[in-house]
Chain A
Amino acid sequence: DTAVSQTPKYLVTQMGNDKSIKCEQNLGHDTMYWYKQDSKKFLKIMFSYNNKELIINETVPNRFSPKSPDKAHLNLHINSLELGDSAVYFCASSQTTGRIGPEQFFGPGTRLTVL
């Protein structure tokens, strides 16, 4: 059973397009995250959601918007894609007792390429 799943695995698109990446977790966790990993493997947190409430926004461009229909899903919408958005995006989840949970489980990643 897949704990944290993401779709699609690969996404190739043109500049200016709008795209979405979906994430689902079946662990019963109450917090989900989105990370961006660039070509140098730097991993930066973008968002986290706890009980449908955004609790972290690491000043990413407002072209990026997380949407959480329920606590098992956290989708990432990106408007007006730019070349610099090309990266691998990872979803993660955890059961948190505070602002950030002790152990995060990661999805397999979505490689986004903007042409």
Chain B
Amino acid sequence: GNSVTQMEGPVTLSEEAFLTINCTYTATGYPSLFWYVQYPGEGLQLLLKATKADDKGSNKGFEATYRKETTSFHLEKGSVQVSDSAVYFCALLGNDMRFGAGTRLTVKP
């Protein structure tokens, strides 16, 4: 079946550092890929998405590129802020929705 694997956290960075959270997937067909973010005490919010190979999703300075050849959808941000501290979920939509385990990011001033 389809599955999503994320790098394990927690990840702790200093403000303005470069962020990468790795995500790889296993799926049949051509799934859509998503990153969701969960701020403390809140529900999941869609951060960005890509629906086909080589698409780049971007939002709030975050980017992720749908790489079919490496079955990856890594999340990147060039300069993180304290307000980016949250749990990030990679997700795949094929026949159903599959979420990764989540990666907790803490950004320190």
Contacts and interface: CB of A to CB of B under 8 A. Distances in A.
Interface size class of B (residues with CB under 8 A): 20 to 34
B93 A43 contact: no
Interface stretch (B18-26, B62-70, B74-82, B96-104): B96-104
B102 A42 contact: yes
Interface string A90-112: 10100000011011111111000
A41 B93 contact: no
A49 B85 CA distance: 33
A107 B43 CA distance: 6
B42 A109 contact: yes
B101 A41 contact: yes
A16 B17 CA distance: 49
Interface in B19-48: 32, 34, 36, 38, 41-46
A41 B42 contact: no
Contacts, number: 45
A4 B46 CA distance: 13
Interface residues of A, number: 19
A105 B102 CA distance: 17
A90 B87 CA distance: 15
Contacts of A105: 46
Given A103-B49, A108-B43, A41 B87 contact: yes
Interface in A50-95: 56, 90, 92
Contact of B102 (A43, A90, A104, A109): A43
Interface of A: 4, 40-43, 45, 56, 90, 92, 99-100, 102-109
Closest 9 CB pairs of A and B: A106-B43, A41-B102, A106-B44, A43-B99, A108-B43, A109-B43, A107-B43, A100-B97, A100-B96
